[in-house]
């Protein structure tokens, strides 16, 4: 049995495995420019974030109906449960779908069909986080928040993703203020490819409670000190960082030093279908390549529940934390 954990950095569109992509393409009469699943997997050699995003947006063409989004989310939740995920806070990118003519309602209703039954079907509690594409305009983000108004009872928070460099957090001040006024929780990708100042901006201008990635904080000791002092959680994604070349190899990842510095780190999978692994695979990888001890892995699992948006269900959080404390590692670590 794997270590119980929460997944806090997971793009549902990034869980689209090649097999399901071809199945949905056939169902919807969409032609994919790849001969088969092997040819598609061959395309998974990324030079950076943008080269990944190009493929990520291209493959979304197969997602058209509520059924498609429900099937996608159910497939993810089954895999996550098998890797010890007990709670998942799931990102989705409505603008990428609305731009292709798929309405917001189709996306949210479809995802919700899977998420609403996830506890019963998979034993995984869930939250939904709507991300804005930072390479789109601030106006488009505001229109997206407006379009989401009928569905806000199912949306816990907002995030910010896609191409980071050249699109600083401050560009989205207005929509984050509007979201806060609506009672939505706030996170943002910052410091994945972008500089440490983007992390500071996400905190000071957008009021984020959690930073997605935050990897490049290590370049600024004063920022690290602040993140430690304010107990700001970071949702790190080690296998993603390797695939997108944020680090040379997993052995070079700063996670051990970040934990040593007292940062509230969590380990997550980002886009598992593309980056070679789900949550448990990321835990196993940092154990093997970075030599993180079982105590450190337990700390990472505890952190994931401490950093999760479970303020409306503290009983559940306490239950999950007790599961982590009672967990006994076997020979296999994940």
Annotated binding site for substrate: 271
The catalytic position among 13, 89, 192, 193 is 192
Which residue's CB comes closest to Zn ion?
Answer: 270
Is 93 a residue that touches Zn ion (CB under 5 A)?
no
Establish if 241 lies at the interface with ligand ES4 (CB under 6 A).
no
For ligand ES4, give the closer residue by CB, 49 or 179. 49
- Which one, 92 or 283, has the nearer CB to Zn ion? 92
Q: How far is the CB of 237 from Zn ion (least distance, A)?
A: 6
109 among known catalytic residues: no
Per CB under 5 A, does 13 bind Zn ion?
A: no
Closer of 12 and 179 to ligand ES4 (Cβ): 12
Binding-site residues for Zn(2+) = 9, 11, 189, 270
Q: How far is CA 57 from the centre of its chain?
A: 16
- Closest distance to Zn ion from the beta carbon of 150 (Å): 26
Q: Does 7 bind ligand ES4 (CB under 6 A)?
A: no
Q: Is residue 162 near ligand ES4 by the rule CB under 6 A?
A: yes
| 294-306 and 279-290 helices, crossing angle to 10° | 140
For position 270 contacting Zn ion by CB under 5 A, the verdict is yes
Among 17, 68, 89, 161, the residue binding ligand ES4 under the rule CB under 6 A is 161
For strand 210-213 and strand 264-267, is the pairing parallel, antiparallel, or unpaired? Answer: unpaired
192 binds ligand ES4 (CB under 6 A): yes
Spatial CB neighbours of 15, under 8 Å, sequence gap ≥ 6: 72, 75, 76, 79, 271, 272, 273
Q: What angle do CA 220, 222, 223 make, to 5 degrees?
A: 65
DSSP string, 189-230: EESSSS-HHHHHHHHHTS--SEEEE-GGGGG-HHHHHHHHHT
In the chain, what's the furthest Cα-to-Cα distance? 53
Smallest gap from Cβ 272 to ligand ES4, in A, equals: 11
Kindly state the DSSP code that residue 302 receives in the 8-state scheme. H
- Name the residues that contact ligand ES4, by CB under 6 A: 11, 14, 49, 56, 161-162, 189, 192, 240, 270-271
Q: Please give the residue ranges that form the binding site for Zn ion (CB under 5 A).
A: 270
* Catalytic (active-site) positions: 192
């Amino acid at each position: 049995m794997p270590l119980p954990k929460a997944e806090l950095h997971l793009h549902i569109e990034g869980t689209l495995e090649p097999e399901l992509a071809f199945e949905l393409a056939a169902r919807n009469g969409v032609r994919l420019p790849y001969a088969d699943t092997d040819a598609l997997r061959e395309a998974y050699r990324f030079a950076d974030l943008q080269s990944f995003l190009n493929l990520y947006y291209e493959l979304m063409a197969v997602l058209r109906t509520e059924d498609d989004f429900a099937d996608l989310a159910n497939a993810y939740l089954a895999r996550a449960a098998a890797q010890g995920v007990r709670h998942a806070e799931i990102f989705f990118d409505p603008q990428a779908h609305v731009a292709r003519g798929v309405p917001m309602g189709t996306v949210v209703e479809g995802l919700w069909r899977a998420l609403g039954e996830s506890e019963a079907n998979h034993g995984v509690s869930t939250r939904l986080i709507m991300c804005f594409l930072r390479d789109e305009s601030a106006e488009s983000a505001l229109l997206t928040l407006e379009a989401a108004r009928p569905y806000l009872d199912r949306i816990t928070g907002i995030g910010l993703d896609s191409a980071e460099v050249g699109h600083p957090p401050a560009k989205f001040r207005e929509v984050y203020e509007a979201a806060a006024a609506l009672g939505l929780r706030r996170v943002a990708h910052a410091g994945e490819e972008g500089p440490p100042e983007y992390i500071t901006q996400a905190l000071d201008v957008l009021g984020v409670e959690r930073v997605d990635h935050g990897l490049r904080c290590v370049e600024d000791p004063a920022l690290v000190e602040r993140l430690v002092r304010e107990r700001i959680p970071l949702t790190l994604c080690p296998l993603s960082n390797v695939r997108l070349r944020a680090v040379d190899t997993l052995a070079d990842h700063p996670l051990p030093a970040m934990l040593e510095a007292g940062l509230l780190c969590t380990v997550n999978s980002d886009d598992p279908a593309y980056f070679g692994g789900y949550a448990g695979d990321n835990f196993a990888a940092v154990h093997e390549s970075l030599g993180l001890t079982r105590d450190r892995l337990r700390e990472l699992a505890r952190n994931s529940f401490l950093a999760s948006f479970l303020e409306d269900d503290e009983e559940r959080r306490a239950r999950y934390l007790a599961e982590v404390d009672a967990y006994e590692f076997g020979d296999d670590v994940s």
